[in-house]
Amino acid sequence: MTAPLLQLDGVVKRFGRAPDAVQAVDGVSLAIAPGEVVGLVGESGSGKSTLGRLVARLADPDAGSIRFDGQDVTHRQGRALGPLRAQIQLVFQDPYASLNPRDTVGRAVDDPLRVSGLPRAERRDRVAWLLDRVGLGGGFADRYPHELSGGQRQRVAIARALALRPKLVVCDEPVSALDVSIRAQVLDLLAELRAEFGLAYLFISHDLAVVRHVADRVAVMHLGRIVETGPTARVWARPGHPYTRALLSAVPRLHPRPGAERMLLEGDPPSPRHPPSGCRFRTRCPLAFDRCAVEDPPPVDLGDGQQATCLLAG
């Protein structure tokens, strides 16, 4: 394998004080190769957005390490984060929240370039080129966010994210707030940009159909931990963790496989302040047995790069 672009090892993020701290991210290890799209799925509250913010170093990890492009960036602070901010960008669910309503579209896209110190004329050309590249003609530069549709605003947010030529874009539910008719267009745009610029994405979504469509590899998050990773097609065909099976069986299928087990998640996940001992999924797992309460299952290798943290996997 080529050297990873991003490498997380044992990353931890807690909110609040022990013993009642929320264990939002609890020992996550994950790698993303240059140009790779890794989908991050899991129920609401499983820690996906927190992990995305840690990756972009908008939050500081409490433990573990984060390497980016061969450098340890775990403890980078303040000005030293500048170059990293250019390399790792974020696109959020709600583009309206990430755009200043008083700034024109042109100014929003110019914002990161101004900080970079590029001369004005070059910046203007680059803004026009970026807007064009995301499918918004030059006329958009003078418009304001409230004059745009949700899809157009997300295109502006994407243009802005690409302004400094990042290597990794963390997309946190980038199409979840968009009309279904617009989603495919924005997903197509993200795919085109990836191909054109060799971008890697950490693509966070609770929507498994979207992740199936965009991700080379998937990581399944449950209560602050990654419980399964693997090539997307393989995980879909042969999920190794009961939690992944439950998530997948909740997706409506056009052609249900005859005899395929259906497994539904009942009730809310346990509190991230006081997760269950052993396997954190055991209180909702139909396959749980005595050892699951005492053993914290290590990742089991299932071949072809697939791993699942379940005592019954393999």
List contacts with ligand ADP (CB under 6 A): 15, 22, 24, 42, 44-50, 272
Segment contacting Mg ion by CB under 5 A, of 13-21, 47-55, 144-152, 287-295? 47-55
Give me the phi and psi of 66, to 5 degrees please: -125, 120
306 near Mg ion, judged by CB under 5 A: no
CB of 60 to ligand ADP, least distance (A): 12
Nearer to Mg ion, 163 or 218 (CB): 218
Q: Which of 46, 49, 98, 232 binds Mg ion (CB under 5 A)?
A: 49
CB of 206 to ligand ADP, least distance (A): 8
Could you give the 3-state DSSP secondary structure of residue 90? strand
Residues present in the chain in total: 314
Rounded to whole angstroms, the Cα distance separating 313 from 68 reads: 31
Q: CB–CB of 243/231 below 8 Å? A: no
Side chain identity at residue 54, one-letter code: L
* Residue 172 host element (H or E): strand 168-172
Residue nearest Mg ion, CB atom distance: 49
Q: What is the CA radius of gyration of the chain?
A: 20
CB of 271 to ligand ADP, least distance (A): 8
Nearer to ligand ADP, 50 or 154 (CB): 50
Side chain identity at residue 132, one-letter code: D
Nearer to ligand ADP, 22 or 32 (CB): 22
7 near Mg ion, judged by CB under 5 A: no
CB neighbours (10 Å) of residue 83? Answer: 14
Task: Residue 45: name its binding partner from Mg ion, ligand ADP, none (Cβ under 5 to 8 Å by kind).
Answer: ligand ADP
Nearer to Mg ion, 49 or 229 (CB): 49
Q: CB–CB of 95/153 below 8 Å? A: yes
Rounded to whole angstroms, the Cα distance separating 276 from 213 reads: 33
Nearer to ligand ADP, 141 or 248 (CB): 248
307 near Mg ion, judged by CB under 5 A: no
The residues of the shown chain that bind Mg ion, judged by CB under 5 A, are 48-49
